[in-house]
Amino acid sequence: MTVNAETQAGGNTWQNLPAAQQPEYPDQEALRSVIEELASYPPLVFAGECDLLRSRLGAVAKGEAFLLQGGDCAEAFDAVSADHIRNKLKTLLQMGAVLTYAASVPVVKVGRIAGQYSKPRSKPTETRGGVTLPSYRGDSVNGFDFTAEARIPDPERLKRMYHASASTLNLVRAFTTGGYADLRQVHAWNQDFVKSSPSGQRYEQLAREIDNALHFMHACGADPEEFKTVEFYASHEALLLDYESALTRTDSRTGRLYDTSGHFVWVGERTRQLDGAHIEFASQIRNPLGVKLGPSTTAAEALEYVERLDPDQEPGRLTFIVRMGADKVRDKLPELVEKVTASGATVGWITDPMHGNTFEAASGHKTRRFDDVLDEVKGFFEVHKELGTHPGGIHVELTGDDVTECVGGGDEIFVDDLHQRYETACDPRLNRSQSLDLAFLVAEMYRDQ
Ligand code: PEP
Ligand code: CO
């Protein structure tokens, strides 16, 4: 049982340090009362689940498993619906099946889901048609609408984030353990998709092979429990420290602190300052952690993250999520991997091929080219091959819906198509077809490494 801690000794040490990217709430009293209420709510995840994920990520760090982490850039309150959640989950399950089967590697599945409501921004304000307003910082902070009223940070939104995360997680748990994720459904996940898309057809072929293997095993008398449910975890960026801290509780089994807002949390590229509040907060919790590493990361910084966040050098505790950009990963990554490996730490290395490859199309849409995404993944694999280290996984922004936000892919989306279904509240996501394309290509790279 994880219980509410009255005060989290050690859990609030971040409060004296500079915290980047926090909202400026006009009403501090209202904020305090929301935090108090959040602290009384039940945890969203159980500490034991976080421990299990840490051991799974230990296998990733040791080269025995592959991490698939994906979901929206920003979840939105009005997208907490059965259809959206199911479509996202289905896409991740299909990608997981492709990677497991085609790359013959155990796949650890983690959603950017049930808590990914807060966004760091490069600019504090946004200007449209001569009007300047505070930037949208995610549904947990303010509204997406471009009006002065919507953009005021409202602490009540933190409670909505909690409830939205709870209902999402509830449905995800129901789907993943209640039969929907049973491997024998491998065809069913594809039903609404197969005819219309080349990647759907390619998937159908793979699903047939999996089906044959399952029938063969069944005929031999094997019906393993592992095929009936899927281990699936929730993750998000630990950005809003008031929220994360209110959900941080002492685990009564171990007396250690866990951030019970999700299984895995990461510190983003804009908040990874070594003397800042986010790294301090992360150092106090037992959850498995991620740190995003952008192109300016030095080897000394990477070593310091290990020192601060993984002092016991425990495989699975720390995963570096590398987001250099396709044009930089081959130059910048080798030194980081070399020095961290030489330090004796066994961290996970995964590639986020999205955030270093964003550009603005002439139409004004923020987009990414599928080929750049693929090229960054290729570069990431090349670096690890050269160094004899393990390319541990991918971290992608995707949706299960047929949106038109990234260009390229087998079922090609052109710049002129972007306006058709551009629905993201923040960064452009791969649609289902592009996600499956990526899974097949990554499986090939993994097999060939
Ligand atoms: C994100 O993951 O949506 C994000 C903002 O990433 P980064 O911190 O790498 O820029
Ligand atoms: Co993003």
CATH code where residue 316 lies? 3.20.20.70
- Report the interhelical angle of 82-103 vs 198-219 (nearest 10°): 70
- C-beta of residue 366 within 8 angstroms of C-beta of residue 136: no
Which DSSP helix (H) or strand (E) runs through 101?
helix 82-103
- On whether residue 44 sits in a domain, the answer given is yes
Give the model confidence (pLDDT) of 65-113 as tens digits.
999 999 999 999 999 999 999 999 999 999 999 999 999 999 999 999 9
What does the DSSP 8-state code read for residue 348?
Answer: E
Per-residue pLDDT at 5: 43
Instruction: Looking at the CA of residue 269, tell me the nearest atom of ligand 1.
Output: 8
Handedness of CA 43, 310, 394, 122 (dihedral sign): positive
Q: For residue 298, which amino acid is it?
A: T
179 C-alpha to center of ligand 1: Å?
A: 33
Per-residue pLDDT at 191: 82
19 C-alpha to center of ligand 2: Å?
A: 20
Q: What residue owns the CA closest to ligand 1's atom 4?
A: 268
CA distance 12 to 205: 52
- On whether residue 435 sits in a domain, the answer given is yes
Instruction: Looking at the CA of residue 323, tell me the nearest atom of ligand 1.
Output: 9
Q: Determine the longest span between alpha carbons in the chain, in angstroms.
A: 71
- Best residue among 21, 121, 239, 270 to mutate for probing ligand 1's pocket (most ligand atoms within 8 Å of CB) is 270
Per-residue pLDDT at 323: 98
Quote the tokens at residue 195: 């005819």
Instruction: Looking at the CA of residue 271, tell me the nearest atom of ligand 1.
Output: 8
Instruction: Looking at the CA of residue 270, tell me the nearest atom of ligand 1.
Output: 8
Q: What residue owns the CA closest to ligand 1's atom 3?
A: 73
Find the domain containing 393 and state its range.
28-123+155-181+229-448
Q: Is there a binding annotation on residue 36?
A: no
334 C-alpha to center of ligand 1: Å?
A: 21
Pocket of ligand 1 (CB under 6 A): 73, 120, 237, 268-270, 292, 323, 355, 427
Which DSSP helix (H) or strand (E) runs through 17?
none
139 C-alpha to center of ligand 2: Å?
A: 14
Quote the tokens at residue 140: 């947990």
Q: For residue 186, which amino acid is it?
A: V
- On whether residue 144 sits in a domain, the answer given is no
Q: Is there a binding annotation on residue 427?
A: yes
- On whether residue 400 sits in a domain, the answer given is yes
- On whether residue 16 sits in a domain, the answer given is no
CA distance 267 to 250: 21
- C-beta of residue 346 within 8 angstroms of C-beta of residue 62: yes
Burial bucket for residue 123 (CB in 10 Å: 0-12, 13-18, 19+)? exposed
What is the total count of domains within the chain? Answer: 1
Give the model confidence (pLDDT) of 425-436 as tens digits.
999 999 999 999
74 C-alpha to center of ligand 2: Å?
A: 7
Ligand lying closest to the C-alpha of residue 112: 1
Per-residue pLDDT at 8: 55
Which residues of the chain are under the pLDDT cut of 70? 1-10
Give exposure, 404-443, as e/b (b: 16+ Cβ within 10 Å). Answer: bbbbbbbbebeeeebeeeeebbbbbbbbbbbbbbbbbbbb
Per-residue pLDDT at 187: 86
CA distance 146 to 340: 44
